A and B are shown apart, each in its own frame.
Chain A
Amino acid sequence: MMKLVFALFAGVIFGLGLTISQMTNPDKVLSFLDIAGNWDPSLALVMVGALAVAVAGFRWTRQHEKPVFGSRFHITLKTTLDKPLLAGAGLFGIGWGMTGYCPGPAFASLALGNQEAVIMVTSIYAGFWAAGLLQEKY
């Protein structure tokens, strides 16, 4: 039960962060990626702000053996740079540049009444499904 409360709480804060920083405005995201045009560096600062808090918070968190609720930290220990990682990240970047949405802002935008967000999220799930099929096969 407490896990659900904190998941909800974390979700609300994440949603506030995305909208306050305007990550949910795809035009702003695209002008961040448009370094040759009228560049808007704001979103680099979103990352700076997020990392400043996360680095400190994670460091303190990892001094504990387990989370407050739950038996362990679900963190992948993989360190190898393999082809799926780099190819997947490359394809994701292309989709991000085509749309201005990454998954978080796309999902949060479902609540903002923008029709294109519905199509975006549906297409993301189609991509998940296709990747799942591929991963099952290989």
Chain B
Amino acid sequence: MQNFTPVSALLGGALIGLSAFILLRFNGRIAGISSIMNGLFTTSGPNRYWRMTFLLGLMLGATIWQWSVPTSLPLRQNYPLPLIIAGGFLVGFGTRIGSGCTSGHGICGLALLSRRSIAATLTFMASGILTVYLIRHVLQVLS
């Protein structure tokens, strides 16, 4: 637990919740990133523009923080690319089939007390924990 960062975690989390609130209260939209990313290429007109703007904002927000505190974001180096490619594919495939990701189900859906989101969140948490257990402690591929 040496790396426990409760204050920045709570503060960052509160900002994510605030963003989800703003998007729903003002635009009537759910801040589910997988769905917004997917819609970037599957919708058109205004439905596409707001997604584009939101995603630009997402990168802008990350950039602002990196500029403000340049030492705060260590970039991972030399992580096996096959894991990224296969894992990334599963993230995209799974979130489409399962109608959401950590933000859509784990935050917005849970905040709405949706049964589907509660079930989805428990499922991806469990399979994520199991996958890391297998990779690190059974197969011992990575430290």
Contacts and interface: CB of A to CB of B under 8 A. Distances in A.
Interface of A: 2-4, 6-28, 30-31, 33-55, 57-58, 60-61, 64, 66-76, 78-81, 84-104, 106-114, 116, 119-132, 134-135
Contacts of B57: 7-15
A121 B51 CA distance: 16
Given A11-B58, A21-B8, A74 B98 contact: no
A104 B98 contact: no
Contacts of A51: 13, 17, 107, 110-111
Interface string B44-85: 001001110111111111111110000011111001010111
Contact of B87 (A96, A111, A122): A96
4 nearest A-B pairs in the assembled complex, by CB-CB distance: A11-B57, A15-B61, A127-B92, A88-B98
Interface of B: 1-6, 8-31, 33-34, 37-38, 41-42, 46, 49-51, 53-66, 72-76, 79, 81, 83-99, 101-103, 105-108, 110-112, 114-116, 119-121, 123-133, 135-137
A9 B133 CA distance: 38
A97 B93 contact: no
A107 B59 contact: yes
Contact of A57 (B24, B50, B103, B110): B24
Contact of A46 (B16, B25, B31, B137): B16
Contacts of A53: 13-14, 17-18, 20-21
Contacts of A19: 12, 61-62, 65-66, 72-73
B61 A39 contact: no
A15 B128 contact: no
B86 to A, nearest CB: 7
Contacts of A86: 98, 119-120, 123
Chain A's interface: helix, strand, loop or mixed, by majority?
helix
A50 B127 contact: no
Given A40-B4, A42-B9, A94-B90, A78 B24 contact: no
B46 to A, nearest CB: 7
Given A36-B137, A92-B90, A127-B91, A7 B30 contact: no
Given A33-B132, A116-B84, A90 B123 contact: yes
Contacts of A3: 26-27, 46, 50
Nearest to B109: A76
Contact of A11 (B8, B56, B81): B56
B25 A24 contact: no
